[in-house]
Structure 1
Amino acid sequence: MHTRVGSADSHLIGYRADVDGLRAIAVISVIAFHLSRSWLPGGYLGVDIFFVLSGYLITLILWREALKGQFSILRFYERRIRRIMPALLLLLFSTTMAAIVLLLPADLIGYGKSMLATLGFVANVYFWRDTDYFSRAAEAKPLLHVWSLGVEEQFYIIFPLLIAAFARFWPRATFPAIALLTLVSLAANCLALKIGGASPAFFLLPTRAWELGAGAMIALLPASLIPRGTVARLLGAIGAIAVLIGIVSPLPTYGSVPVALPVVIGAMFLIAAGQVVQPPVNRLVATPPLAFVGLISYSLYLWHWPFIVFSQYYLVRDLNLGEMMIAVAGMTACAIVSWRYVERPFRSRAMPARTVCLAAGVGAGVLAMIASALIWSNGLPGRMGGEAAAINAAVGTNYRCPVPNYLRMGQSRACVLNLASRNPSDANVVLLGNSHAQMYAPVWESIFVERGLPGLLVPANGCLPTVSVNISRECIDVAVANLIELGKLSNVKTVILGLTWAHAENGLVDANGKTVDNGDDAELVRGLDDLIGRLLGFGKKVVLIGPIAYPGWDLPSELSRDLAFGWPLEKPTYLSAEEFQQQYGAAIQHFEARRDIGFARPDTVLCDASRCDYVLDGRSIFADASHIAQAELFRFRSIFTEALATQR
């Protein structure tokens, strides 16, 4: 059976409407999640379904070609270029025009960098270091969604050669070998989650390849294992239920088990169930409306996120229902046009490969030059008012440990701070805590350099550093592991504690996982006292970084856009000193009274007698909703130096 779209590879595999239907479910799920996370909390797992489908379809094509002795790496990449590049380049030209009109300088610089990464198919690597996919800041990144293309294209650099080699020399070993590699990738994902690497586990190929491998395994199933009859109907039903549960109400994560696992298994079952005869569930998925959405799913996936991002970026708020409907209509219209007049013609074998490759090369080259110009020009700041540009400059500039500075420490990882030997046992001082410790790392490192102190940042991976109470039972395990490793570092004389004090507002749990009342921060204070006591017991000196007032909304991004687009300024740019004292006054007084620790109070930098400012000297102190911008860290140096010098 021939595919109805006349694609470049349709002569190799038969058309399966249920596969297009599954594509439709995947893309609709992703769009619904991006419009409102409350609609489909697991909708983002639609990308995982895409990975399984992609692994299945590409492997099926490659395997059949290889067995016939018709495999050609050049022809394979020609098909990839036909499939990916024309629609992608059309999108990039369109989003670039919108970005130049709408994005403020810092965001336009980021856009230029992300476009270069997209053209090099390393967008997943770029966004791993730049963005938390689930953060509010991610909602201002028009090309965030193309991280998935990076994963796929990196996978296809090696995978075709691997399949060709197995088909020629070890055909019977192909399925078990791919299954083993899939399990290795899944194990890498679990390990990354275990050591606090949720972001690399999400974005990077080694921890994502298992999903593509899962689809490849279905394509390589021996004929004797392909489900038929009752087994196929049962697998189809189970697969549909697993996918439905995953996208509607994803199961909570248990330790290091990927949340995508049920959805991936469900997609595998659905694909496998329809390989011979279509069971009822597969026929339902293959209905014409879903199949059509599946046909345009690639273009629809490309267009949906920029429509949402640019709309919300300009309005500086979430879309209401009417605006969502307009956005859906717009992205669907663009997707249909892209599919009909770009995807189909370029994928057709009637269009010469030379024409396709030349157009793709020229288009990519022009876009790369434009992206470089946007970066080189510092985001064309002349387009915007000076006040908006100054505040926007802080967007996303909080410190993150550079990848080369990471090193393994116990079952977790640490970050080098003036540690030339890269050996944790040589450190004299440790900065311990979550991102609210890490954000101060550059100013602490400058102090370490000045004093000749080898240092180390030991992250608490989104948790508190306390071991008797924490925000979850899993976080207590992280904190205990970090404390054990600290106890082994005999050269460490000083431990600096940093944390997100407001974490505790959402409730704490004790070592048994039981929720405890943290009224007036009493349990948090007791937890910190307990941790300090343990560190003092190790013979360490302790410096505690106190709480700060922070906006709780993405101030540099939203405030700069309000100013640039003329919207009224409705959110406060400060917290009253009275409210700050009500929130943290008792805890501050408690630790000020302790004579056995150094206590650094960053609130004294931001607060006066009446209020705590989020904006000083026309610049945002914050890089996002709560983290200090690197350019503003100089303000805290004197109080940190004093706290380090006055350890009791």
Structure 2
Amino acid sequence: MNRNNSSEYRYDIDGLRAIAVTSVVIFHLFHNALSRGFLGVDIFFVISGFLISGIILKDIQKGRFTLLNFYERRIRRLMPALLFVLAFTIIASGFILLPADLEGFGKSIIASIFFVANIYFWRDTDYFSRAAEFKPLLHLWSLGVEEQFYIFFPIILVLLYRRRTVLVPTIWFLTIGSLSANIWLLTIGGAAPAFYLLPTRAWELGAGVLITLHGQATLSPRAGMLARGGALLLLVGGLFYHGPWPWWLPVALPVVAGTAVLIWASAPIATATGQLLALRPINLVGQISYSLYLWHWPLIVLAKYYLVRDLTFSEAALVGLAAVAAAFFSWKYVEQPFRTRALSFRKVAKFSASGAAIALVAAFVVLITNGLPSRLSAEAASINRSVDTHYRCPVSQLFRFGASRACDLTLDGQDINAAEVVLLGNSHAQMYAPIIEKLLRKHKVAGALVPINGCLPTVSINISTECIDAARANLDAVNQLPELRTVIVALNWPLEGLVGSNGRPVDTSRVEALTDAVHDLASQLGHRRVIVVGPIAEPDLDIASVLSRQIAFGVEPRAATSVAAEPFRAKFATVFERIGNRDGIRLVRPDLYQCTRTRCYFVKDGVGLFSDSNHLAQPALKFFAPAFEGILDHEVAAPAPPPDGHGGT
């Protein structure tokens, strides 16, 4: 929209865009300075809902709306700058990214071109994980959400426009329903889909739509001042606040509410808020915000990836300035020319189609060649193959159970009540699932995975009281399974940050507290056999990613590929001595296959054992499978124990 058209230009909207993109960039460059700066995307969503609904309704009222014209505008607005950034990122990534990361990048190109990046990254990456920091196109998840919204929303408006008594309640219903779905997913451990997917993000876009439908506020000067002041407080407070927050409530709620009220109340130029948002530097940042959002993340990722460390303050500032410069160039020489009607849509469409086709060809080349491993030394390529490969249950195999969801390992579509074996734990149970599944299929035994990611499976102590409640719900559900005879308990073994059922911190300076909690869990599983998977030595850094990049880029000193075994064994001596000797509990010792008498290894025979800082990599499971085979072959294949005891060991 042209700034010179004062009758239409909303300087306060560009001011809000500036706040949004600046928050996101600061969060990614200087995380500690604005720990909730990622909520800038939520500001964008509200703005998009408001602007898009206004454009569509205005065209409908004038009798000139067509889906073809609507999507022409969207293509002009989004595709040229996106393809420009993609071209740069593809070339740079081809030189910098190692095979495993380049393959993931290739998949993300395809997802981004078809505007389903949010769905791809939902299954691939936790947005807040360390692995996410090396995904150059991760930020395009938000474009996926918006483009999916653009597919469905215009149809709803066109169908219901002449039935306003139906239209407004429908949008309210969909908005409240989306917020409710978001909250519901948070309560059952679905934070990832709640974050990434349109159905649980639509409430933010819906907030903007509702402003358009209800119209701008007509407020007295005093009421307007109070509304804008309260809105700014919600907006800024939501971005900076990082204290206690209800775990089931979306953290974006204050920011979304503040943005919506600020747009609704408007900000006349005569007001202090209006003067602030209308400042030329702020408005300029707002105008280049789309390009700045596109450029900043690939530049940050590729710089950190190559340096194999976090950026210093001065390096981060330089990357930020480079992003602003690239964004200004992109806005002036790519966005602006393609948005004007002087350039025919035929040319725009040809450019967009050609650019997308070239990007897709590049993606397929990367995938067909397995990430072009010939560019690297065999050592770096081999270790890099482990990056981010730990097992995640496919969505198609998940079903509602206990506190959240369970995974069908060998039920093969049967009801959960048919499960004879349950793998119970958190992500550290999930990472062993391929080994367990193979052994269950060998003996033709029905089994399921019951994970509680982010928590422990123990019910006497845990990460939080909410985790204790969730673990209790899972335990109760497991105990109701009529055919269950064996439970395999696997977890990480944290010795800090645990609390009891009263919410008070537990002294876990000694491992006895957690060992007793595992014993307590086993005792509450009734007559079932219990197999506990013991701890392993963890590298505490993304060893596969860091080490492979250090080798590839000649960075010294390199990350250690092993640690002394004695401190690890001393730390968990209680587990090894007491778990395995308790009647009715068998202990699996993966550490015996990781450690020699003197060293515990993070790389073995050129294979990275860990996919990140603490989860076993898929290529490494072959080394750990023997730890399970003897015990599981005996326990899983044996007849069910008598109901009046645990059964023998």
- TM-score under structure 1 normalisation? 0.96
Does 1:507 pair with 2:527? no
The equivalent of 1:379 in structure 2 is 371
Distance 2:57 2:80 in 1: 26
The equivalent of 1:516 in structure 2 is 506
Does 1:21 pair with 2:7? no
Question: CA contact under 8 A between 1:577 and 1:612: conserved in structure 2?
Answer: yes
The residue identity in structure 2 corresponding to 1:202 is: F
Cα-to-partner distance string for 1:333-359 (whole Å, 9 max, x where unaligned): 110000000000111122211111111
Distance 1:433 1:531 in 2: 11
Q: 2:280 aligned to 276, 285, 288, which one?
A: 288
Does 1:637 pair with 2:625? yes
Question: CA contact under 8 A between 2:562 and 2:600: conserved in structure 1?
Answer: yes
Q: CA deviation at 1:249?
A: 1.9
Paired residues for 1:105-504 under 5 Å: 105-168=99-162, 170-222=163-215, 226-274=218-266, 279-502=271-494
Distance 1:336 1:507 in 2: 46
The residue identity in structure 2 corresponding to 1:533 is: S
For structure 1, the residue ranges without an aligned partner over 5 or more in a row are none
Q: 1:589 aligned to 567, 572, 577, which one?
A: 577
Q: CA deviation at 1:411?
A: 4.8
Change beyond 3 A, Cα 1:222–1:30: closer
* SS of alignment partner, residue 572 of structure 2: helix
Distance 1:250 1:263 in 2: 13
Question: CA contact under 8 A between 1:228 and 1:276: conserved in structure 2?
Answer: no
Distance 1:167 1:299 in 2: 33
RMSD: 1.6
* SS of alignment partner, residue 489 of structure 2: strand
Q: 1:528 aligned to 518, 525, 530, which one?
A: 518
The equivalent of 1:563 in structure 2 is 551
Number of aligned residues:
636
* SS of alignment partner, residue 214 of structure 2: coil
* SS of alignment partner, residue 519 of structure 1: coil
Does 415-424 or 556-565 show the bigger shift?
A: 415-424
The equivalent of 2:3 in structure 1 is 4
Q: CA deviation at 1:38?
A: 0.6
Q: 2:77 aligned to 64, 79, 83, which one?
A: 83
Does 264-273 or 294-303 show the bigger shift?
A: 264-273
The equivalent of 2:645 in structure 1 is none
Question: CA contact under 8 A between 2:420 and 2:446: conserved in structure 1?
Answer: yes
Q: CA deviation at 1:603?
A: 0.5
Question: CA contact under 8 A between 1:473 and 1:509: conserved in structure 2?
Answer: yes
Question: CA contact under 8 A between 2:496 and 2:509: conserved in structure 1?
Answer: no
Q: 2:39 aligned to 45, 49, 54, which one?
A: 45
Does 1:550 pair with 2:538? yes
Cα-to-partner distance string for 1:611-638 (whole Å, 9 max, x where unaligned): 1000000110111111111121122222
Distance 1:641 1:582 in 2: 26
Question: CA contact under 8 A between 1:227 and 1:272: conserved in structure 2?
Answer: no
Does 597-606 or 244-253 show the bigger shift?
A: 244-253
Cα-to-partner distance string for 1:13-33 (whole Å, 9 max, x where unaligned): 811111111111111111111
Does 1:617 pair with 2:605? yes
Cα-to-partner distance string for 1:174-224 (whole Å, 9 max, x where unaligned): 22221110000000100111110111111111111111111111111146x
* SS of alignment partner, residue 424 of structure 2: strand
Q: CA deviation at 1:251?
A: 4.8
Cα-to-partner distance string for 1:419-466 (whole Å, 9 max, x where unaligned): 123311011000011100000001100000001110000011210000
* SS of alignment partner, residue 371 of structure 2: coil
Q: Percent identity?
A: 48
Distance 2:417 2:61 in 1: 55
Runs of 4 or more, structure 1, over 6 Å off, are 275-278
* SS of alignment partner, residue 303 of structure 1: helix
Distance 1:22 1:435 in 2: 39
Cα-to-partner distance string for 1:207-252 (whole Å, 9 max, x where unaligned): 11111111111111146x5545322221211111111111112453
The residue identity in structure 2 corresponding to 1:31 is: V
Distance 1:101 1:91 in 2: 16
Question: CA contact under 8 A between 1:432 and 1:458: conserved in structure 2?
Answer: yes
Q: CA deviation at 1:173?
A: 2.9
* SS of alignment partner, residue 499 of structure 2: strand
Does 1:55 pair with 2:57? no
Does 1:69 pair with 2:63? yes
Q: CA deviation at 1:394?
A: 0.7
The residue identity in structure 2 corresponding to 1:478 is: A
Change beyond 3 A, Cα 1:209–1:422: farther
Distance 1:114 1:581 in 2: 41
Question: CA contact under 8 A between 1:236 and 1:279: conserved in structure 2?
Answer: no
For structure 2, the residue ranges without an aligned partner over 5 or more in a row are 636-647
The residue identity in structure 1 corresponding to 2:90 is: T
Q: CA deviation at 1:642?
A: 2.1
The residue identity in structure 2 corresponding to 1:70 is: R
Q: CA deviation at 1:302?
A: 0.3
The residue identity in structure 2 corresponding to 1:476 is: I
Question: CA contact under 8 A between 1:398 and 1:627: conserved in structure 2?
Answer: yes
Distance 1:440 1:227 in 2: 61
Distance 1:593 1:402 in 2: 36
Question: CA contact under 8 A between 1:228 and 1:277: conserved in structure 2?
Answer: no
Distance 1:428 1:600 in 2: 19
Distance 1:612 1:411 in 2: 35
- TM-score under structure 2 normalisation? 0.96
Distance 2:225 2:311 in 1: 41
Distance 2:374 2:431 in 1: 30
Question: CA contact under 8 A between 1:251 and 1:259: conserved in structure 2?
Answer: no
Distance 2:243 2:509 in 1: 30
The equivalent of 2:642 in structure 1 is none
Does 1:540 pair with 2:562? no
Distance 2:278 2:429 in 1: 51
* SS of alignment partner, residue 126 of structure 1: helix
The residue identity in structure 2 corresponding to 1:41 is: S
* SS of alignment partner, residue 530 of structure 2: strand
Question: CA contact under 8 A between 2:562 and 2:601: conserved in structure 1?
Answer: yes
Distance 1:642 1:134 in 2: 38
Q: CA deviation at 1:598?
A: 1.2
Q: CA deviation at 1:275?
A: 6.7
* SS of alignment partner, residue 579 of structure 2: helix
Question: CA contact under 8 A between 2:267 and 2:273: conserved in structure 1?
Answer: no
Question: CA contact under 8 A between 1:115 and 1:368: conserved in structure 2?
Answer: yes
Cα-to-partner distance string for 1:80-116 (whole Å, 9 max, x where unaligned): 0001100000000000010011111111111111001
